[in-house]
């Protein structure tokens, strides 16, 4: 398959038209996308009360392939009841993630137990009876509650309240596999864990660092902004071991000039080794100080630890920086000079930064670099973790975390007279480890695919298999329903947000809260997430003090409660559908929400690159045609791959290993091996590094994680390749 020379453009438009055709025509798709609901895909956010395909600055039409994909998936018909007696789990185990997703929508509750190889449709009553009785028999701390980032704030809030009042803090969300390192790293550096800027700040930046992300595939609408910044004479520095086509040249479909001539995106494209960012970012900071381009007044006036940090930088040898980053000094100098010339810089990053055993250190190195020139705490400049799921940030904000923010904890106790558990709760991977050790009995997963998303797939399956019951609330079938089975497994079909019977809310990565109107259910059978959760809560716990779960079936009541207990969400108490930016998050002044208003610089020793001599460093990433564990198409158009069972490596590495282009190999890591996989020549990856697709590659990813944020190192796996021999 040939690689395109730019991202976006006509192929993206053709794709949208084709998908629309398949989902019942362009008009039907357009109408679905225009309803007043927040977009379902990434956390850039669009839609809501301004109407679908509109962003928070009122710009229209904002659309991308991904929003169409996600909508098309929900517009599928239902999986027929006879399917479940026709296909056994043994047969379903051979279905690819794409085949599972395209079977259609889940429409009836399903139960599987070990005595059979089939799922059996059950009534909602039977399903909820089983869930409630199993929870009743279990000790609260032998249960865990996982939430993905597509559910609403209202469902997330009720879920964590239910889990805590039942008696456990084992409540977590997919952020522990995603941006947790950003939350932890930033909170310690500047006192807040989310973006410090709004969309308009990004639009007025003159320099954007885009580190460890591939927004051309994963946040396509961000490309419009980057292209605009370049057109205005601003710059974009891309830091990525892979030269991603769409980050070099991109054709914004909604802009005729861009569509015809393509916008250049990267002003400078820096290729570190996988895991080399900490060294690289530190090197840029060192060079900034050498050039005298740092803001000494800002550092001494608004930051702690600046003196030791400056002394440490001065002593750090350039040789070490170059060796541990894989980037030469002249490139570092070039980037530092661009930064030195900038008046308003935004630093943005994604999974290439957080998916490392030093994810928090990476994030703090970014914060250091920004603080060095006073680029946090003023308009048009700041820090922007590019979040994943459309409401992952909201799920965390409303309290779906093992430890509640102190203020939320206190207000739930004082305003509502509730008694909340105080023993520590487990993060996501820790839940699986506790399950594997036989310490857990029940798992409840609101959305997502915990099995497919987890490192060390064989271990994840074994861990889930030890549970008495796992309940999955989902919209479509995924690999977790087939390979993440407990002794008994319940699959409960729920409604996506544009089919919710009542309004719900979602929070974007710019801290903007949108209202989704919901809409008519496309199928009979699935229930609203909130309805299922409140019913379980009511039957399990009954009313507790002023908390009556029957009242909380009304999303307005849930929002009133969120508004009273979650700082920054006060606007929710009004009862109107006014969309708002969460209070206290945007930093327009150099006063940080820390105890004394100052930021903190952090010194982190530079880690060695992973792997022994002869091994490669593997990143596991998304293709153009997937959303996390959901695969919509086998091909990765941007990287020119027509199939997913490939490993992309540099031609020099192919030669060194004595492999020919396309030769079948076995890929092995410390925890597993995969093959046959085709070793393909990919000149755009830095030598010594390799790329495979998640979730299939998760059998290779060890449970090595960042001790600070508990995020697994999905992007740095030491691997060996040998020719496939059967």
Ligand X SMILES: Nc1nc2c(c(=O)[nH]1)N[C@H]1C(S)=C(S)[C@@H](COP(=O)(O)OP(=O)(O)OC[C@H]3O[C@@H](n4cnc5c(=O)[nH]c(N)nc54)[C@H](O)[C@@H]3O)O[C@H]1N2
Contacts to Mo ion by CB under 5 A: 178, 388
Residue 325 binds what, of Mo ion, ligand X, none (CB under 5 to 8 Å, by partner type)?
none
Residue 174 is a binding residue for ligand X (CB under 6 A)? yes
* DSSP designation for 112: E
Q: How far is the CB of 190 from Mo ion (least distance, A)?
A: 22
Q: Is the sign of the CA dihedral 202, 206, 209, 214 positive or negative?
A: positive
Question: Are the CB atoms for 166 and 396 separated by under 8 Å?
Answer: no
Residue 620 binds what, of ligand X, Mo ion, none (CB under 5 to 8 Å, by partner type)?
ligand X
Q: Which stretch binds ligand X (CB under 6 A): 163-171, 237-245, 401-409, 577-585?
A: 237-245
Residues 5-44 that bind ligand X (CB under 6 A): 41-42
Binding mask 93-132 for ligand X (x = CB under 6 A): ----------------------------------------
CA distances from 160 to 156, 166, 392, 541 (A): 6, 10, 14, 14
d(CA 547, CA 545): 5
By beta-carbon proximity to ligand X, the closer residue of 226 and 587 is: 226
By beta-carbon proximity to ligand X, the closer residue of 178 and 376 is: 178
Burial of 1 (0-12, 13-18, 19+ CB in 10 A): exposed
* DSSP designation for 527: B
Question: Are the CB atoms for 666 and 724 separated by under 8 Å?
Answer: yes
Residue 76 binds what, of Mo ion, ligand X, none (CB under 5 to 8 Å, by partner type)?
none
Residue 474 is a binding residue for ligand X (CB under 6 A)? yes
d(CA 389, CA 53): 17
Residue 627 binds what, of Mo ion, ligand X, none (CB under 5 to 8 Å, by partner type)?
ligand X
- Residue 438 exposure: Cα atoms within 13 Å on the Cβ side: 0
By beta-carbon proximity to ligand X, the closer residue of 450 and 486 is: 450
Residue 227 is a binding residue for ligand X (CB under 6 A)? no
Residue 513 is a binding residue for ligand X (CB under 6 A)? no
Residue 163 is a binding residue for ligand X (CB under 6 A)? no
- Tell me how many degrees the CA angle 65-71-72 measures, rounded to the nearest 5: 85
Q: Which stretch binds ligand X (CB under 6 A): 270-278, 431-439, 515-523, 555-563?
A: 270-278
By beta-carbon proximity to ligand X, the closer residue of 298 and 714 is: 714
**DSSP string computed for 448-512:** S-HHHHSSSHHHHHHHHHTSSEEEEEESB--HHHHHS--SEEEEEEB--GGG-SS-EEEE-TTSE
Q: Which stretch binds ligand X (CB under 6 A): 20-28, 347-355, 584-592, 604-612?
A: 347-355
- Within 8 A by CB and 6+ apart from 454, the residues are 177, 428, 429, 432, 460, 698, 712
Tokens of 82: 């006879």
> What SS3 state is found at 610?
coil
By beta-carbon proximity to ligand X, the closer residue of 177 and 637 is: 177
**Residue count at the site for ligand X (CB under 6 A)?**
63
By beta-carbon proximity to Mo ion, the closer residue of 42 and 130 is: 42
Residue 274 is a binding residue for ligand X (CB under 6 A)? yes
Q: Is the sign of the CA dihedral 527, 66, 14, 227 positive or negative?
A: positive
List of residues contacting ligand X (CB under 6 A): 41-42, 66, 148-151, 174, 177-178, 211-214, 217-219, 239-242, 244, 272, 274-275, 277, 350-352, 355, 388-389, 446-450, 452-453, 473-476, 478, 494, 496-497, 529, 619-622, 626-630, 694, 697-698, 701, 714-715
């Amino acid at each position: 398959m040939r690689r395109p020379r730019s991202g976006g453009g006509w192929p993206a438009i053709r794709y949208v038209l084709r998908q629309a055709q398949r989902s019942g025509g362009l008009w039907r798709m357009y109408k679905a996308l225009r309803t007043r609901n927040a977009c379902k895909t990434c956390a850039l956010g669009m839609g809501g009360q301004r109407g679908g395909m509109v962003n928070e600055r009122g710009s229209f039409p904002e659309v991308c392939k991904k929003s169409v994909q996600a909508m098309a998936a929900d517009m599928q018909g239902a999986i027929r009841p006879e399917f479940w007696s026709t296909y056994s789990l043994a047969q379903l185990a051979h279905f690819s993630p794409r085949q599972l997703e395209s079977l259609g929508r889940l429409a009836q509750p399903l139960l599987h137990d070990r005595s059979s190889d089939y799922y059996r449709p059950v009534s909602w009553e039977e399903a909820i009876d089983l869930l409630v009785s199993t929870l009743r028999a279990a000790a609260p701390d032998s249960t865990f509650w996982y939430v993905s980032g597509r559910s609403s704030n209202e469902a997330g809030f009720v879920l964590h309240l239910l889990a805590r009042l039942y008696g456990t803090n084992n409540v977590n969300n997919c952020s522990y596999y995603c941006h947790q390192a950003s939350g932890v790293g930033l909170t310690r550096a500047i006192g807040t864990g989310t973006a410090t800027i709004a969309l308009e700040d990004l639009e007025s930046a003159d320099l954007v660092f885009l580190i460890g992300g591939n927004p051309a595939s994963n946040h396509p609408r961000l490309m419009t902004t980057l292209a605009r910044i370049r057109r205005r004479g601003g710059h974009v520095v891309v830091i990525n071991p892979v030269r991603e086509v769409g980050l070099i040249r991109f054709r914004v479909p909604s802009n005729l000039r861009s569509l015809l001539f393509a916008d250049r995106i990267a002003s400078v494209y820096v290729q570190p080794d996988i895991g080399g960012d900490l060294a690289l970012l530190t090197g840029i900071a060192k060079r900034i100080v050498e050039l005298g381009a740092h803001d000494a007044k800002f550092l001494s006036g608004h930051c702690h630890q600046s003196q030791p940090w400056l002394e440490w930088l001065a002593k750090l040898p350039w040789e070490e920086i170059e060796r541990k980053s894989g980037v030469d000094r002249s490139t570092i100098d070039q980037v530092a000079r661009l930064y030195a010339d900038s008046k308003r810089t935004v630093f943005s990053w994604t999974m290439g930064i957080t998916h490392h055993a030093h994810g928090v250190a990476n994030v703090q190195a970014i914060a250091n670099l920004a603080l060095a020139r006073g680029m946090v705490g003023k308009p048009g400049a700041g820090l922007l973790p590019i979040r994943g799921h459309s409401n992952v940030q909201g799920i965390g904000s409303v309290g779906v975390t093992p430890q509640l923010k102190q203020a939320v904890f206190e207000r739930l106790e004082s305003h509502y007279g509730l008694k909340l558990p105080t023993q520590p709760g487990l993060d996501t991977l820790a839940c699986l480890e506790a399950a594997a050790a036989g310490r857990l009995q029940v798992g409840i997963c609101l959305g997502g695919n915990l099995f497919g998303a987890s490192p060390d797939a064989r271990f994840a399956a074994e861990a889930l298999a030890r549970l008495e019951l796992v309940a999955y609330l989902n919209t479509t079938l995924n690999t977790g329903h087939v390979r993440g089975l407990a002794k008994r497994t319940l699959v409960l079909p729920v409604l996506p947000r544009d089919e919710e019977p009542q309004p719900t809310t979602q929070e974007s990565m710019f801290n903007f809260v949108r209202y989704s109107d919901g809409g008519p259910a496309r199928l009979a059978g699935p229930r609203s997430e909130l309805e299922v959760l409140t019913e379980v809560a009511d039957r399990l716990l009954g009313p507790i003090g002023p908390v009556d779960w029957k009242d909380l079936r009304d999303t307005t009541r849930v929002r009133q409660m969120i508004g009273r207990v979650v700082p920054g969400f006060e606007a929710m108490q009004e009862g109107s559908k006014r969309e708002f930016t969460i209070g206290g998050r945007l930093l327009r002044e150099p006063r940080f929400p820390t105890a004394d208003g100052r930021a903190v610089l952090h010194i982190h020793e530079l880690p060695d690159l992973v792997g022994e001599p002869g091994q490669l460093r593997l990143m596991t990433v998304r293709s153009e045609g997937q959303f996390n564990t959901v695969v919509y198409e086998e091909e990765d158009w941007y990287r020119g791959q027509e199939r997913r069972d490939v490993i992309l490596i540099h031609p020099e590495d192919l030669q060194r290993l004595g492999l020919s282009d396309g030769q079948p190999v076995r890929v092995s890591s410390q925890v597993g091996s995969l093959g046959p996989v085709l070793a393909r020549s990919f000149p755009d990856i830095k030598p010594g590094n390799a790329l495979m697709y998640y979730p299939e590659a998760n059998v290779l990813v060890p449970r090595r994680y960042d001790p600070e944020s508990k995020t697994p190192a999905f992007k740095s796996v030491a691997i060996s390749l040998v020719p496939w021999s059967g």
